Amino acid sequence: MTPEDSPFTLRQLEEPEIQFEGGTETSPKRGLIRYGPRLYEEGHHTIKLGIIGDRDSIRRLTELLHDMEVGIHPGTSDNPWQVPYPGLGKSSPLNLSINAKKGWRRQIRRRDIQSVTSKSTPRDRMERFLKLVRKDIEIIERDSIQPNAIIVCIPQEVMDACTPENQDHARIQSEGSDLRNRIKLIGMEARIPTQLIKPSTLAIRTDRQRASRAWNLTVGLLYKSQRGHPWKTRQIEDGHCYAGLSFYRERDEGDDVIRAALAHVFHGRDHIILQSDPLPDITEDENGSPHLSYEAARQVGEQILEYYEAQKGTRPSRFVLHKPSVFWEEEREGLLDATDGVRDLDLVWVRRRPKVRLFPPTDYPAMRGTLLSVPGDDVHYLYTSGYVPEETTYQGSGVPSPIEIRPDEICETPSLGICKEILFFTKLDWNTSDYAIRMPATVSVAKRVGTILSEVDTESISEVRPQYFYYM
């Protein structure tokens, strides 16, 4: 099919820039090297790091941290996307150091691992390992000077023991409970953000892998240490409030299922997590996607705006809500009533897996930023992953696919502006140093947080923290 025969209109969106300490860039890594991260205070900063792991993982992680001090070149290639890691210390453009003193290290000993593997079921083994981690975090927490974050290295034997048969190690899950999520909750209760590392992450074979691990670790720890942001938004205007809506099942041991909603709010510098009260009358459509009643939608909208007003002293002039399912009439009405006094309301449906693909007549996949729009029908397919000319590469696997964007009938902003904003939000997740993520952070982060808050032992948390660094 030629472009003239296509049922779509085709345009290329400009790659959005992100803001660093001294300027703007499109590439996170190049921006950090050229301008440095956005730190809250001037001067050099040290990240205090706790480590929990077995002897081998602590050794491997310590070796990586040592290499990070001097810098790591990813190899001999001159490809733009292979950005050398610049090193740490006072002379580094990152303006950071990492201190992992021995008093903040807790070794998981052989007898501890045996106490895990000796349990009869994967769930019992997981619970035993979580008990060990909780104890070690509590010991680290009692130090006169607490670390800013704790890395938990999962021993290979523990991964094998806690993973049920016929299940891969991508997620360590048993009977609906997820090991990563449970450790995040333990860290949240101790008020110390955590970072999980699997054995495969430390099984580094090439300088390219080593540089990639160093970049990702630095970006994540910088934000988790609460020393600043690797980069920040530059396109959110004053008076604009963005939120992503996700849903999760709140569980307890009696299997009493309560459906709740989670809103993830962006209002400039940071990402804020809001947990709603249990919501009444949640309905599922034929695809299993949940929908809010009028009362629940009004409740969610009011909660978001009340938080914004408490922080800013006034209501926003514009409120944008991204949702992974179509808006029903009851949802529209509830949100309209909740946003009384807000000048512009933009309701947007963002879907991950549409049945649309673009195959360019070249050796390269579709470019990131390619936008296919359906004339006469306000439906848009945006390539948030794909070939990046300035990086001279496509770093994904397989044929990239777009995401689907459908502005609701209640959407004041022109569709092109909505799509440009969503492309921008794919560069706003500080859990990775990658060029961009596939879904906008409004949606992806809300979903990630929802999986954590759906854990059975969430009820043991005295307070659900609103800071994103506890969840990433």
Determine how many CB atoms are found less than 10 A away from the CB of residue 19.
17
Asked whether residue 244 is assigned to any structural domain, the reply reads: yes
Q: Could you tell me if 58 and 194 lie in one domain?
A: yes
pLDDT digits 0-9 by tens, 98-110: 999 999 999 999 9
More confident residue, 182 or 249: 182
Same-domain status, 181 and 306: no
In this predicted structure, the answer to whether residue 253 has a pLDDT above a threshold of 70 is no
List residues bridging with 39 in a β-sheet: 228
Cα separations in angstroms, 21 against 93, 427, 432: 11, 16, 18
Choice between 358 and 11, residue whose per-residue pLDDT is larger:
11
Q: List Cβ neighbours of 4 (8 Å cut-off, separation of 6 or more).
A: none
**Of 195, 174, 181, 176, whose CA–CA distance to 125 is shortest?**
174
Question: Is 187 a residue whose pLDDT tops 70?
Answer: yes
Residue 391's domain comprises: 3-16+235-470
Mean pLDDT of 4-19: 85
Alpha-carbon span 33 to 51, nearest angstrom: 27
> How far apart, in whole angstroms, are the C-alpha atoms of residue 430 and residue 79?
23
Q: Are 216 and 79 part of one and the same domain? A: yes
| Residue 238: per-residue pLDDT | 82
Mean pLDDT for all residues in the chain = 87
Domain match, 8 and 47 both:
no
- H-only helix segments in 294-400: 294-312, 329-338
- Which of the listed residues 181, 212, 229 is the one where a domain comes to its end? 229
> Comparing 453 with 112, which gets the higher pLDDT?
112
Phi, psi of 257 (to 5 degrees): -95, 125
Residue 21 inside a domain? The answer is no
The predicted-structure confidence for 54-90, as pLDDT tens digits, reads as follows 999 999 999 999 999 999 988 766 666 788 999 999 9
What is the number of domains present in the chain? Answer: 2
Same domain, 163 and 268: no
Q: Model confidence at 376, in pLDDT bands (50, 70, 90)?
A: confident
Do the domain assignments include residue 373? yes
pLDDT (tens digit, 9 = 90+) per residue, 332-343? 999 999 999 999
Whole-number Å distance between alpha carbons of 120 and 429:
39
CA distance 459 to 456: 7
Structure tokens at 84: 């050398």
